[in-house]
Amino acid sequence: MQRFENHYAALGLDRHCTDDQIRAAYRILAKQHHPDLNGGSADAIARTQTLNAAYEILSDAERRRDYDQELAASEKRVRSPRSAPLRNLSQEVHLRLEDFFRGTCREIRIFDPGNPGGAEQLELIVPSNTAVGTRIRLSRPEGGFVVIRLKLQPHFQFKARGADLRCDLKISLPRASQGGEEMVTGPTGSRLRLRIPRNVERGEILRISGEGLPKPRGGRGDLLVRIVYRPQIRVTRRN
């Protein structure tokens, strides 16, 4: 039986994706797999042809509507009550801190001995300013889907708590006593001004609004800066 190509899976998208998501995914993947950037390899050429075919169909409203009907019929043929539960999978993917701000692309491979088509290859497109914990559903070529949950890799400087980020700032004893301004490096690499109050206590948390992680419904959490300093110990000779 001839294999029915899943154009949504080729672009790393779900069937319910929007036109904007189709265009964005195509631009990212077409650039990544362009033969000129991959030494003209046969794999890059074949991948580009697959992407072009998918975009040609899905970017046209009428052709996409006809294709959706054919895809639904194809998935109905390959499903069986016994295998259906195994078609829907879930997986956690750990990303770097900067990936949630800049966006990224990952290759997802599924190895299922029961799949006659062999290993499945899906593209995971993570848009810029994506929230930690976001779930992305990818369609599988033979029917079903994979739900990818995005998690944050441990970071040497920042710790996440919801959409807020925590970090430490070491200051001198005079700064703790007199107060003033200090510069803090934010999660995007930008330099942020932080006002230190006079006689600030060790362990006190100072907040920089809107400089944390992206939120699920837009905006960003806060950056929580914990003040760290060492009290001075002075030893003198008794008279």
DSSP 22-70: HHHHHHHHHHHT-GGGTTT-HHHHHHHHHHHHHHHHHTSHHHHHHHHHH
3-state secondary structure of 165: strand
Structure tokens at 15: 């069937």
pTM above 0.85, yes or no: no
pLDDT value of residue 39: 84
Residue type, 215: K
Structure tokens at 62: 């009428």
**DSSP conformational letter for 173:** H
pLDDT value of residue 3: 55
Q: State phi, psi for 85 to the nearest 5 degrees.
A: -60, -30
Structure tokens at 59: 């970017």
What is d(CA 67, CA 15) in angstroms, rounded to the nearest whole number? 11
pLDDT value of residue 86: 58
Place of tokens 């154009």: 7
Contacts of residue 228, Cβ cutoff 8 Å, sequence gap at least 6: 168, 169, 170, 171, 202, 203
Considering Cα of 7, then 8, then 9, then 10, what sign does the dihedral take? positive
Nearest residue to 226 via CA among 161, 178, 152, 165: 165
One digit per residue, pLDDT tens: the chain, 239 residues? Answer: 345 678 888 888 878 888 888 988 898 888 888 888 888 888 888 889 889 989 999 999 899 988 888 887 776 665 544 444 457 889 999 999 999 999 999 999 888 776 766 788 899 999 999 999 999 999 887 778 899 999 999 999 999 999 999 999 999 999 999 999 999 999 999 999 999 999 999 999 999 999 999 999 999 999 999 999 988 888 888 87
What is d(CA 42, CA 125) in angstroms, rounded to the nearest whole number? 23
pLDDT value of residue 84: 45
pLDDT value of residue 174: 92
pLDDT value of residue 2: 43
pLDDT value of residue 82: 47
pLDDT value of residue 196: 96
pLDDT value of residue 232: 84
Do 11 and 123 touch, CB atoms closer than 8 A?
yes
